[in-house]
């Protein structure tokens, strides 16, 4: 494994710590890249921190990108090195020519290539939705790599109601003339999950999940092709992820669930707590899929877990 790639330009260094962005504002991360086995250039944000403890790797949800974890990473950076990868087809990572590669098995393979480049043998995973699935899958394959895990609004079983809702919007695209139009479109689709959001909150979310496109209109910051493998045929037999979840035993694990979630039911969360003794189960009130991790309950759960990582 590479042991010092964080300071090796040949291993993907593309900017330095606190490099000014286009508006001249200092950024607390370095933009870096790694290569997938099939030749894609994939992007990650690298927030510096102590090198005497395992890094934190924040893994985003299905249609999200590195901006989603910016508040969390900024809060932890310094005390912890925080790496925020963008999976293929999202953000600044290359889009795949074969949409069939937009699947969790491939995402885990891409993540392992990043870990290899960075010489990371153990890390703390904070995985939201898809990122939590990746965390469980990697734990099943390489449990020794997981120093601790935070699963955010995801479990071994996904509520069919939530899956149906995701299929209603993912990959449908759309473009908007202003950020306000984009924010209102997000509110129309996701309002039930964030009933307390005001327009400013929706504007902030729009700027996390969308970008200004080449044509001057605001567009989603992911490849619409990610929806193709996700649209599984009706009646498909789901993969049994309970063994993958149980592979997290023996290390600190927190489960953060939105009280209004249609992805992770209260019953599934309770079963997870029963099957993994010591699980720190936290429910964030007044929010659905998925908590932003800026909520006091979520932040406290993450801090408790990090305090217990050896």
Cβ atoms of 246 and 143 within 8 Å: the answer is no
Distances in Å between the Cα of 296 and the Cα atoms of 162, 164, 183, 256, 292 are 25, 30, 24, 12, 10
- Phi and psi for 211 in degrees, rounded to 5? -140, 165
Report, in this order, helix, strand and coil percent for the chain, each rounded to 5.
40, 20, 40
Q: Which strands form 146-152's sheet, in the order they lie side by side?
A: 30-35, 41-47, 82-85, 56-59, 123-128, 146-152, 253-258, 280-284
Nearest-angstrom CA–CA distance, 37 and 45: 20
The sign of the torsion formed by the CA atoms of 130, 208, 110, 2 equals negative
Q: What angle, 0 to 180 degrees and rounded to 10, lies between the N-to-C axes of helices 199-209 and 179-190?
A: 100
For the segment 243-284, what is each residue's pLDDT rounded down to a tens digit? Answer: 999 999 999 999 999 999 999 999 999 999 999 999 999 999
Mean pLDDT by 10 residues, the chain (310 residues): 30 35 68 98 98 98 97 98 98 97 96 98 98 98 98 96 91 94 97 97 98 94 92 62 97 98 98 97 98 98 95
Q: Which domains does the chain have, with CATH numbers?
A: 5-160+238-307 (3.40.50.1820), 161-237 (no CATH)
Distances (CA, A) of 42 to 6, 71, 221, 240: 15, 22, 14, 29
Contact 298, 117 (CB under 8 A): no
Q: Cα 106 to chain center, whole Å? A: 15
Which residues are CB-contacts of 299 (< 8 A; sequence separation ≥ 6)? 75, 293
pLDDT for 173: 86
pLDDT in tens, 69-119: 999 999 999 999 999 999 999 999 999 999 999 999 999 999 999 999 999
Predicted pLDDT at 233 = 57
Sheet harboring 210-212: ordered strands across? 175-176, 218-220, 210-212
């Amino acid at each position: 494994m590479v042991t010092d790639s964080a300071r090796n330009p040949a291993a993907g260094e593309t900017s330095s710590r606190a490099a000014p962005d286009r508006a001249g504002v200092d950024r607390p991360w370095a933009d870096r890249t790694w290569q997938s086995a099939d030749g894609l250039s994939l992007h990650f944000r690298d927030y510096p921190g102590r090198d005497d403890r395992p890094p934190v790797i924040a893994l985003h949800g299905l249609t999200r990108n590195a901006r989603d974890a910016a508040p969390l990473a900024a809060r932890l950076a310094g005390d912890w090195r925080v790496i925020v990868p963008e999976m293929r087809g999202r953000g600044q990572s290359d889009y795949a020519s074969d949409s069939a590669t937009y699947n969790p098995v491939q995402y885990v393979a891409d993540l392992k290539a990043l870990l290899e480049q960075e010489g990371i043998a153990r890390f703390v995973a904070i995985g939201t939705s898809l990122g939590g699935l990746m965390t469980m899958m990697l734990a099943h394959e390489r449990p020794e790599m997981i120093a601790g895990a935070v699963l955010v609004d995801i479990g071994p079983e996904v509520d069919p109601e939530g899956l149906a809702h995701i299929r209603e919007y993912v990959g449908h695209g759309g473009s908007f003339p202003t950020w306000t139009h984009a924010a209102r479109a997000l509110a129309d689709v996701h309002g039930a999950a964030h009933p307390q959001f005001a327009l400013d909150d929706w504007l902030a979310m729009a700027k996390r999940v969308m970008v200004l496109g080449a044509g001057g209109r605001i567009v989603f910051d992911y490849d619409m092709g990610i929806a193709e493998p996700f649209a599984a045929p009706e009646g498909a037999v789901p993969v049994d992820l309970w063994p993958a979840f149980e592979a997290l035993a023996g290390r600190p694990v927190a489960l953060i669930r939105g009280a209004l979630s249609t992805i992770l039911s209260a019953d599934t969360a309770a079963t997870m707590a029963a099957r993994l003794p010591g699980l720190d189960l936290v429910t964030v009130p007044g929010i659905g899929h998925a908590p932003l991790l800026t909520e006091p309950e979520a932040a406290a759960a993450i801090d408790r877990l990090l305090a217990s990582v050896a």
